[in-house]
Amino acid sequence: MVRILLALDDEVGQARAQTNAIADIVQASTSAEIHVLHVFGDNPEGASVHQVEAVREASDRLEELGVEVNLLEASGSPADEVLKYAEEYDVDQICVGGRKRSPTGKALFGSVTQDVILGTHRPVLVCGSSPDDE
């Protein structure tokens, strides 16, 4: 069984790209367990992970593939929460989103992505946004 932590923000196109990237991994394995995590930076209204469109879309797509999906939510530092949940669920891989950057900026990842990569011994898959949404 492959266990993946899919860390999503609010970007639907980004969620599509990440879901498509792990779909190949999921389909190649005998069984898969995907933990979909959304970290709220500021959540004064008390929104739920179920209200995030990107999470709903990714979850629906993965369930269509017959994957066990576990929705998780947290508040605080996205990188810290991703690393915490990766340890807690003992995932085999972490999947995070990337951002378009200038030619100079391409040498560096965004701070959350960089903190996740440097803060874990687990493989980290970094995905760009879906070409449909660019």
Radius of gyration of the chain (CA): 14
| pTM to 2 decimal places | 0.88
* Residue 134, pLDDT score: 44
pLDDT tens-digit readout, 94-116: 999 986 555 555 445 568 889 99
Identify whether the C-beta of residue 86 lies closer than 8 Å to the C-beta of residue 5.
Answer: yes
Confidence of residue 47 (pLDDT cuts 50, 70, 90): confident
